[in-house]
Amino acid sequence: MITQTFGGGGGRTAVASRYINGSRVVKNLLKRVASLFISISIGFGVLPAVAEDGYELWLRYEQLEARPADAPRHVMAACAEPSETLQAALAEIERATESLLGNSLQSTDRLRSRTLVLASADCADAIDEADLPTTEAVGAEGFALRATKLNGKRVTLIAAQSDLGVLYGTFDYLQRMSRGEALTDLDVISRPKTKLRLLNHWDNLDRHVERGYAGQSIWDWHRLPDYLDPKYTDYARANASIGINGVSLTNVNADATVLTAPYLEKVAALADIFRPYGIRIYLTARFSAPMELGGLDTADPRDAEVQAWWQAKVDEIYAHVPDFGGFLVKANSEGQPGPQDYERSHAEGANMLATALAPHEGIVMWRAFVYSAEEPEDRVKQAYTEFVPLDGQFADNVLVQVKNGPLDFQPREPFHPLFGAMPETPLMMELQITKEYLGFSTHLAYLGTLWEEVLSADTHAEGEGTSVASVIDGVAQEYELTGMAGVANIGSDRNWSGSVFDQANWYAFGRLAWDPDASSEAIARDWVEQTLSRAPEVADEITGMMMGSREAVVNYMTPLGLTHLMGTGHHYGPAPWVDDLGRADWTPYYYHKATKDAVGFDRTETGSGAVDQYAGPVAQEWASLDTVPDELLLWFHRVPWDYQLSNGQTLWQELVNRYDRGVSAVGVMQAQWASLENEIDVERFAQVSAFLGIQHQEAIWWRDASIAYWQSVNGLPLPEGAEPPAHDLDHYKSLSFPNAPGQGE
Amino acid sequence: MITQTFGGGGGRTAVASRYINGSRVVKNLLKRVASLFISISIGFGVLPAVAEDGYELWLRYEQLEARPADAPRHVMAACAEPSETLQAALAEIERATESLLGNSLQSTDRLRSRTLVLASADCADAIDEADLPTTEAVGAEGFALRATKLNGKRVTLIAAQSDLGVLYGTFDYLQRMSRGEALTDLDVISRPKTKLRLLNHWDNLDRHVERGYAGQSIWDWHRLPDYLDPKYTDYARANASIGINGVSLTNVNADATVLTAPYLEKVAALADIFRPYGIRIYLTARFSAPMELGGLDTADPRDAEVQAWWQAKVDEIYAHVPDFGGFLVKANSEGQPGPQDYERSHAEGANMLATALAPHEGIVMWRAFVYSAEEPEDRVKQAYTEFVPLDGQFADNVLVQVKNGPLDFQPREPFHPLFGAMPETPLMMELQITKEYLGFSTHLAYLGTLWEEVLSADTHAEGEGTSVASVIDGVAQEYELTGMAGVANIGSDRNWSGSVFDQANWYAFGRLAWDPDASSEAIARDWVEQTLSRAPEVADEITGMMMGSREAVVNYMTPLGLTHLMGTGHHYGPAPWVDDLGRADWTPYYYHKATKDAVGFDRTETGSGAVDQYAGPVAQEWASLDTVPDELLLWFHRVPWDYQLSNGQTLWQELVNRYDRGVSAVGVMQAQWASLENEIDVERFAQVSAFLGIQHQEAIWWRDASIAYWQSVNGLPLPEGAEPPAHDLDHYKSLSFPNAPGQGE
């Protein structure tokens, strides 16, 4: 499509359009053939880079430099009346090929040479069913892509058992084409390793997004259900393109209002848009809703009226949304109501909801992110302590949703000790795509590496080689239900995620939910090629930036196992000095306990003993100062400032070194990006440049404020060669950010 | 520019691009000439309507059907080093002509035939200064457009005293071209009738917009000053294109934080972007800032420390923003602090700030929207009562900013009695572009007619013919300072204003601020031609829809002089029954006082006497039941339900008729719009259709809820033929809207 852009990138002109001052006769002659030429000139190479605001995400389908020799010419579905899902696939093919090839494939209703054929068990009239992949091979959602012959014609077959599988295969195929991969000998089978691949939106009904750094909620509740923003469809396309099959629309700090009839109508309107893309809707259930909406005196899960209220409410939801997915629940955590208010267990609470959902095949995702009002000696122990005894008590349609680490989405944490510790209870992993603790949307931090680190960690739960991924995907402990959830980083910003590179985190989440064993580097590279540039040297450079970016954040924020030192409430910027909040485990001080002599949290047997929540070999490695990796040192150990690390540096020297390394790494990213100025479109180039500038300033701020604080505690001089903080500690303490985005409300 | 759109409108393809399967040799041959053809084929008529999301506003510059015979070929500024403002004009010409004509004008550095020449007193090297319009003719901001001969060459001259005048002239010229007007005999002089033409943003620093229905604030404070969204530049362009020369960035319910150093850096970054476009920044000053930021014990304007604090603060602001415009102040109104807290007058408060600003040539805009905590007998009298005695007491650099009517931006009010009543004090008019009381952004209500009604009203202040416009523009009472302010309807929504038609209200505000005597119909037509369609029959139809739209809203919401019946707090939907709020004059009941016998607010001598605040002839007309127009009947009079109107109907019959008329008018707009489906691009057509559907539903809701309520009070049967309400009154009373957008926070 051609559209006028009215943006700052408007300096570039897309068409070399010099007016031809010919006579009218000549002009008319020219016009008659112009429509022939335009397809070619637009087709290949004539157009320079265009204005680009990031709205298209990784589905830009930027025109290929040349039409691939093996590109199909025609497209068909293998049945006369393709479903809405197959129609969505066909529409995507039209859109993508027009953009990638300069013209879209021609529809055909018979097998011809060079046809792209879509076929499923429900749409196989035009092919031999034997050409479909078996259920054993692709399951309910997987697909096969094959360059093959049908009826003697060379075709490319996108085939699956289900129409949704075909849609996933279509997106996979088009993204391969978009990356410029050879398609001649295509022979791919892919199926998701997890069943539930969900985004969790922490979006309030007033459109404030808790921990959102990309504008306000994309759910325009006020104008729903009557106005259906085209953005909702593009959101569904983007999600389907990476295999996401469910969305929880509302904040886990839940508002029961979303369960009222007017809101259910709005929810139903979204469900209708998402359905062809295989995306089911889930809602967050406020545990006290029977009191707030139903006027009951209690929300006790054993109360018959409460149970009846939920059953009626669930039935009402399904009347609006027949394929409703179920509830996501945060209960007895950070002030949310829950079953413990009535001295019932999490299992009883979850099962009460599960009972109401079961007749409709709905599920409950019950979050394990809990910590009691009583302030246990070590907050990171609590989820394990509370949930392990409940193993085996949850209904079959309940999953327990566990954050990747035992604290709260820090730049680095060890994997959560619950993984592997609840063999009778399916555990979903909850990742945070939005970067609450990693610099919001202005810091470049590719999270694929963080997630891969967790997923590939060995729990030893069923012996050596029991990776977290193998727990999550159900293989290790034979879970029937499996899933991954990502806390969305999506908002009303034009580029969806607040920054170009945060789009990569959305993308990587989907890819890893599909395959928790995938390589974060391969995912990054795919994203770069689809989103920024197919040029190999450019893609190399950007992939390299991404792969090192999270470690840079760890280094300038919380090196060597330090954690949760962010500014209170908003989590923006450093505040290691804060030690006076309502409860100790909300303060940064709680997590480092720095004194003149030592720093770190002793979680060994001499301390909280949290390390013993891990399986033997893991606990052993991390409990010993000799074997604990430097990256987790201060997470598990309290260490003197002059403790000598294996590299010969003292703790203090190494700490300062790491801060410097983090700052330098951002400087290197700036230089790398600057070198790409001619390779990237103007608007995105400028935004990334500006954000890297912010990140560099803030990395220095983190380093300097942290060092100034540690020095105020340990009284040590700076290691030789280290740059002193730009300001004194009082300056850093004086900064306040009342309007930092994304705060809880 | 050409860009991939990834939107719901994507069903249409912009280029008829069928792939040509020629041999490589042929293809290469074709490619060599393709660049010639493409400019022509894109040039005229080949491309169908394109996807359009409204971002370009009235500056779409949609390609002309044919290149005008008299279009210039070249462009030049009449000096070697044009200022940033002239560069902005040149950039706009490039952008616009490329889009309108298919190619942009060629730069030239010497006078040639068919050149568009930009010249000002500071940029006149290439022309005879006598060719510039005089200061007498165009003032500091006006311009002349002339098709003329210079050095024997036929040129078009855009000339002014100032560079800003040239920029305004450039926008005027390009918009004429965009409307398809003949430019051959161009001879235009235009100058603004008011000096200050300001948008007032009611934007909080957390990006919530009070009374905002277009997403969140476009000011991304968190990422400022380091990231400069390209949108800021487009905002400046749009404003300059309609003559707006100032912006108050922050809510009148002010947060002193914006006056702190970190925020002033952010403000300065915006000022740097706006400066070339002639837009100065103003801030809202929280009167208690010396206490909140300065730690003083008082904000008493007579206190020397307070005065010194403001002087230092103002100096600090000017160090950041050398062309800072000044302060907008809401004081002693709805809980805001102000001089009356210290028993000082509004004049003393304003003058204290004015003294600090005067050395920098800054000004104070002091709002007259006040009503005391004591609840006077009639709230609409209070501004007049408080401010008229202060006439003559304000410093020279103070304006008093007065809303168009004495209440609060209702669908219809009489003009504010202060207009004409303060001959010694320049009064600015404050209009509300955002539609707090007219259905938010989903109701189509063109406000040009509302504003024209007020501006053309005769105050009789200096004898017959003293229009409100003549007060505002300073002619009637010889104000030195003059101005109009519009409360912005701009937010982060892609289309800026939340709906296509609300863009017209932004546009109309600018045009009326430039010329308060302008015709709202001519303005509407210009906007339609630039924004939606130049086709005469299409433009006729849409202009017609717009011209009747506000009266429709009056009819279905508050006919016959009823007022302020909107839902409490959010002002969404009808709630005439509310009578139990903290203070009576916040309740709808206060404004209608309906009983079994009568309805309306007696503001004659038997009632509050408010009508006597108007000049004699006006007061006389409105005080008498014989002469008061039906449209203001219940505003000024309390009338029995069976009172007979001049058309023979009883009040009750006519009231019900008017509700029906309002609903029907929306139905007609729906039909009119539906008839334009093939004339309007897909995405905007669909959005307007959906919004008209919402408006129709809500018009019925307004009518039915209002009639149900009036019947519950007066016990009267429905007039014959009237449709009964769809629900009973309890239903309407039961509706609640906790998350309605735009609420005060």
Q: What is the DSSP string of A472-499?
A: HTSTTTT-SS-EEEEE----SSTTSSSS
Evaluate whether B150 touches B116 at the Cβ level (below 8 Å): no
CA distance A214 to A235: 14
Please say if the pLDDT value at position A41 is more than 60. Answer: no
The verdict on a CB contact (< 8 Å) between A693 and B39 is no
Residue B66 forms contact with A (CB below 8 Å): no
pLDDT for B375 equals 66
Q: Which residue is associated with the tokens 């692709």?
A: A138
Q: What is the mean pLDDT of residues A124-153?
A: 96
Helix (H, G, I), strand (E, B) or coil at B116: strand
pLDDT for B13 equals 29
DSSP A734: H
Q: Which residue is associated with the tokens 């700490």?
A: A655
The verdict on a CB contact (< 8 Å) between B37 and A34 is yes
Q: What is the mean pLDDT of residues A526-553?
A: 98
**Geometric angle at alpha carbon B599, from B597 and B605, rounded to 5°:** 105
pLDDT for B611 equals 98
pLDDT for B40 equals 33
State the nearest Cα–Cα gap between A292 and chain B, in angstroms: 14
CA distance A358 to B18: 52
Q: Which residue is associated with the tokens 């099962």?
A: A351
Mutate to test the interface with A, among B28, B33, B37 (most CBs of A within 10 A): B37
CA distance B240 to B275: 11
Residue B39: which of A15, A56, A104 has the nearest Cβ?
A: A15
Evaluate whether B659 touches B682 at the Cβ level (below 8 Å): no
Helix (H, G, I), strand (E, B) or coil at B719: coil
Neighbour tally for A348: CB within 10 Å: 18
Say which range, A358-362, A377-381, B558-562, has the weakest mean pLDDT: A377-381
Residue B701 forms contact with A (CB below 8 Å): no
Give the β-pairing of A106-107 and A74-77. parallel
Query: Kind and range of the H or E element at B96?
Result: helix B84-101
Q: What is the mean pLDDT of residues A280-284?
A: 98
Query: Kind and range of the H or E element at A353?
Result: helix A346-357
The verdict on a CB contact (< 8 Å) between B38 and A45 is no
CA distance A626 to A609: 17
Q: What sections of B182-296 are H helices per DSSP? A: 230-241, 261-274, 289-292
Tell me which residue of A2, A3, A163 sits closest to A77, measured CA to CA: A163
Give the β-pairing of B598-599 and B639-640. antiparallel
CA distance B227 to B436: 31
Tokens of B522: 């001519």
Residue B69 forms contact with A (CB below 8 Å): no
Q: What is the mean pLDDT of residues A87-116?
A: 96
Question: Taking the CA of residue A215 as centre, how many other CA atoms within 13 Å lie in the half-sphere pointing to its CB?
Answer: 24
Query: Which of B548 and A11 is assigned the larger pLDDT?
Result: B548
pLDDT for B435 equals 98
Please say if the pLDDT value at position A9 is more than 70. Answer: no
Count of CB contacts below 8 A, A vs B? Answer: 265
Q: Which residue is associated with the tokens 């309805």?
A: B599
The verdict on a CB contact (< 8 Å) between B442 and A223 is yes
Contacts of A626 (CB under 8 A, 6+ apart): none
pLDDT for B744 equals 87
- Looking at beta carbons, which residues of chain B come within 8 Å of A221? 739
Neighbour tally for B740: CB within 10 Å: 18
Please say if the pLDDT value at position A38 is more than 60. Answer: no
Sequence length of chain B is: 745
Instruction: Tally DSSP H helices, then E strands, for chain A.
Output: 21, 16
Please say if the pLDDT value at position A691 is more than 90. Answer: yes
The verdict on a CB contact (< 8 Å) between A8 and B233 is yes
At residue B657, what is the residue type? N
Query: In chain B, which among 178-207 make CB contacts under 8 A with chain A?
Result: 205-207
State the nearest Cα–Cα gap between A737 and chain B, in angstroms: 9
Residue B1: which of A4, A103, A231 has the nearest Cβ?
A: A4
The verdict on a CB contact (< 8 Å) between B222 and A257 is no
* C-alpha distance from residue B548 to each of A476, B524, B531 (Å): 69, 11, 19
Closest-CA residue of A relative to B33 is: A37
CA distance B540 to B542: 6
The β-bridge partners of A365 are: A328, A399
* C-alpha distance from residue A73 to each of A68, A184, B16, B24, B372 (Å): 11, 14, 17, 17, 75
Closest-CA residue of B relative to A5 is: B1
The verdict on a CB contact (< 8 Å) between B30 and A10 is no
Q: What is the mean pLDDT of residues A553-564?
A: 98
CA distance B525 to A479: 66
A581 pLDDT band, cuts 50/70/90, is confident
A598 phi/psi in degrees, rounded to 5: -150, 170
Please say if the pLDDT value at position A66 is more than 70. Answer: yes
Query: In chain A, which among 453-492 make CB contacts under 8 A with chain B?
Result: 492
**Distance between the two ends of chain A, CA-based, in angstroms?**
41
pLDDT for B69 equals 82
Helix (H, G, I), strand (E, B) or coil at A624: coil
Question: Would you state the torsion angle of the CA atoms of residues A508, A510, A513, A516, taken in this order, to the nearest 10 degrees?
Answer: -30
**Geometric angle at alpha carbon B246, from B387 and B392, rounded to 5°:** 25
pLDDT for A20 equals 29
The verdict on a CB contact (< 8 Å) between A1 and B1 is no
Where are the extended beta strands (E) located within A160-202? Answer: 187-190, 196-200
pLDDT for A25 equals 35
pLDDT for A354 equals 98
Where are the extended beta strands (E) located within B306-418? Answer: 326-329, 363-367, 398-403
Question: Would you state the torsion angle of the CA atoms of residues A21, A24, A25, A30, taken in this order, to the nearest 10 degrees?
Answer: 60
Where are the extended beta strands (E) located within B462-559? Answer: 483-487
pLDDT for B745 equals 72
Average pLDDT of adjacent 10-residue blocks, chain B of 745 residues? 33 29 36 36 34 93 91 97 98 97 95 97 95 97 97 96 98 98 95 98 98 98 98 98 98 98 98 98 98 98 98 98 98 95 98 98 96 77 96 98 98 98 98 98 98 98 98 97 98 98 98 98 98 98 98 98 96 96 87 97 97 98 98 98 97 98 98 98 97 98 98 97 96 96 90
Report the percentage of chain A scoring pLDDT > 90: 90
Q: What is the CA radius of gyration of chain B?
A: 27
CA distance B17 to A181: 24
At residue B248, what is the residue type? S
CA distance B540 to B518: 19
**Geometric angle at alpha carbon B144, from B138 and B145, rounded to 5°:** 170
Residue B227: which of A47, A205, A691 has the nearest Cβ?
A: A691
pLDDT for A580 equals 87
**Distance between the two ends of chain B, CA-based, in angstroms?**
41
- Looking at beta carbons, which residues of chain A come within 8 Å of B494? 494
